[in-house]
Structure formats: structure tokens, C-alpha cells
Amino acid sequence: MTIIPYDPFTFLLVTPLAAALLHVATAEEDMSNEESGGESNGSRFVAILVVANVIVLVVILFLLIIYYKKYNKLKNAMKAKNILPRDKEHDSTIMGRAIEKGTPEGGGKGKLVFMDEKGPAFKLDDLFRSSAEGLGRGNFGNCYKAMLELGRVVVVKRLIDLKPLSSEEFVRQVRAIADQKHPNLLPLLAYYYSKEERLFLYPFAAHGNLFHRLHGGRGTRDRVPFRWGSRLAAAQGVARALEHLHRHTRSEATAPHGNLKSSNILFDENDEVLVCDYGLTSLVAPPIAAQRMVSYKTPEYQSLKRISKKSDVWSYGCLVFELLTGRVPAHSAPPGTNGVELCGWVNRAVREEWTAEIFDPEIVVSRGANQGMLRLMHIAMKCCDKSPEKRPEIGQVVAEVEKVKVEDDELSYSSLTDDSSYSASSSQVIGDDRR
């Protein structure tokens, strides 16, 4: 048996793989020594040991690199889906980097311009010092909740995937958006423009959005029921906002909102509806708009590659179906959520006479669907007609939706047991299940 000279550095390099190779080498050396008469070759063992450990270290380093890359990829994916808690300090840093001090006249690297003619409600430095909390990623960039020192809260929206526009054209389009003022539209407070960044600043809507109001906490004890009266009020508020946008948009060959869906319907501290993300069609690159905006999911775009004001009407009809059924529409379902093609589903239910199953149990409770729900359903069916020419104008929609509450105030309750209880021309009173 060959004796290996003791070397403390050699001892530190020993790993399981190296030990195994050493064992093989030792056995081979023993055989060689027996054949050659026991000639010593200790330096050869040390060389084998060093090579073996180098191989092991390279393999370990390679595995660590792969693990690190996969870990970062998974972490980023989870943050994008809001599975991981947000790092407020990190969010503040990102938002701070995006905003560089400038002047309303365009001095410096960027500028923050307030839309209110009375002047800014806060200074740019206040925004720099604010703490930020990530609200999530939308179709066109991340949103941050900025808490100013004076107690005011604003939302900073970073815009991405915009079409190439000169600064003058960008400002012109933004001014057109800011000029849309209505009690049911979320106002644009300010915008920021630089070569690298485009930001919009909005008031913070304290009571969340319609998507979470409709679908959040389903099947849990924490679920707060969203009753019929509140849903009807939401449908009416959205219709009024949409009518205002259409009335102040001259072109018929565009959708004034363009991306109407429940996640873009907010509620203020008084639970009043605030429609947001309107007017972005004029800023977003067309290929991106076609992929992400609701107006491009309409039947006419699928067949003729065109949108119009009637595309917004179709989107409104889908939104009303979502309010009535409590189901998520397939065309606007968030990633990982299974949606339903509501227009086809509701039409099939009416055609096959199982209308009573359409309505969300949360609004019919024990009394069944009332006349107002059925009226609203038929308005939505007209809005979702496959032919844009057959859809009503949004002004007509508002007039009909506003009547629902007035007419239902005069109705008494009755149970809807089957579809024979109602027809479009029926005079039978179904009732009002107001909550």
C-alpha cells in the first residue's frame, strides 16, 4: 500500500467526488506498484486530486448560476402577479428614478405639468419625498400609490408601449384627455414627459375597482355582497361617463374609451363610479392596442379590422352582463382566470328559455330576478349585437338605463319561477329587489 504524504491543503480540497477518484487512483497505483515493485508516485495522486476538485467546483458554480437565474425569473413572475408583497422602499426608488425634476416650460431632463389652471396642488419636491406602494401592473405599465407628506394620495401611472410621438403631439393628445371632465370620469391631475419616461398622475380612488367588488372574496366569509341597487348605480354611472366621452369625440372611426372593463371602473370614498384609462387609444402603438384593448375584441374588429364608437357600446353591454351574472368575461379576464364568452352565453340562455339561471345569486337572493334586472339584460343584449349598425347609440342606452330605477320604484316583488314569467312585451310585474 502506498502511503500519501500528509498535506493540509490537500486535506481541505477533498470532496466526495475527489475521494472516489482518489480511491480509484490509489487502487490503480497499488496494482502498478505491485507490478513494478512498489515504486512511489505520490505527486500523481495530488495532481488527480486537484483536477477532480476543480471539476467539482465548476459543476457547483454552474448549478448555482442556473438556480439563481430560475429563482429571479420565478420571483419576478410572482411579483408581476402580486403574489409576493411589494417592497415599498424599492417602489419609491423606482418611481423616484422615473421622475426627474424639471419645469412646466420643459427645462431640465423632464417636466411635470398640472392640468388644473389654478396651479399645482402640490410641488414636485413633495412627490420626490413621497413614499410609494406598487398597485400592480396594468396593460400599459405599472401603477404606484404615492403618499405625500401633506396627507394627499395620488396614483402615478408609468406608460409603456406608446406610439412614437413628438413632444408637441404627445402634449396635444394628453390635453384632449384632460379636457374630458365629468363627475364619473377619473380626472387627470398632471402628466410628466421626458425622453425616457411618460407618466400620468391621478387622484387615488379609495374604494377599489369594480372587478374586485364583483369577484373578490367569492366563496369566503370575508365576501361583502354587492347588491342589485349598487350594481344598477354602477351601470348608470358608467353609461353617463361613456356618453360624455362620445359626445366630445368628433371622429366616428375611433372608440372614445377603447378599453372599457370592470378593472377600469373605480369607486371613490362615497362609492361614486369613476371611469379611468379612457382616451389611451390615441397614445398606444396600434399593434399593442390590438393585443390588449377591449375594443379590439369586438366582432367587427375580428372580421373587418375596424373599431368605432359602437365598439365602446359593445364593451358596455359586456360590462352589464358581468354586473348581472357575476361572471368574468373571457375577453377581459386577468391572467390565470377562466372567463366566459358572456354575449353568446346570455343569448343562448334566453333562446333556450333558462333566463332565470343568468343572474348572480347574490342579487336575486330569495325573490328571484326582478323586472329591472330583466330590462337591463335586454339593453345589454342590444348593445352586444354582432352588427355595429344594429347597436343603439350610447345616448339611447343612457336614456333606457336611467329609466330602470324610475320604473322599478313603482313595481312590487314577485318570484321569477320560469321564463314564461317574462317576455319583452309582458305586462306582468316582477318586482324590485333593491339593496
Which residues fall in the annotated binding site for ATP? Answer: 157
Q: Answer yes or no: are the C-beta atoms of 143 and 155 closer than 8 Å.
A: yes
Cα distance from N-terminal residue to C-terminal residue, the chain: 93
The answer to whether 155 and 136 are in contact (CB under 8 A) is no
Burial code (b: 16+ CB inside 10 Å, e: under 16) for 174-207 equals: beebbebebebbbbbbbbbbbeebbbbbbbbbee
Provide the 3-class DSSP secondary structure of residue 102. strand
CB distance 158 to 142 below 8 Å: yes
How, if at all, do strands 131-138 and 110-114 pair?
unpaired
The strand pairing partners of 137, in sequence order, are 142
- φ and ψ of 294, to 5 deg: -65, -35
Q: Extract the runs of DSSP E, i.e. beta strands, from 268-316.
A: 273-275
Looking at the DSSP assignment, which residues form a beta bridge with residue 131? 147
H helix intervals, 385-428 = 394-408
By the 8 A CB rule, do 211 and 262 touch? yes
C-alpha cell at 402: 336611467
Q: Which three cell numbers stand for residue 342?
A: 358572456
Annotated binding site, which residues? 157
d(CA 143, CA 160): 11
> Measured between alpha carbons, how far is 363 from 226 in angstroms, rounded to an integer?
7
Contacts of 260 (CB under 8 A, 6+ apart): 238, 242, 275, 294, 295, 312, 315, 316, 319
Helix spans in 113-260 (H): 124-129, 167-178, 210-215, 228-247
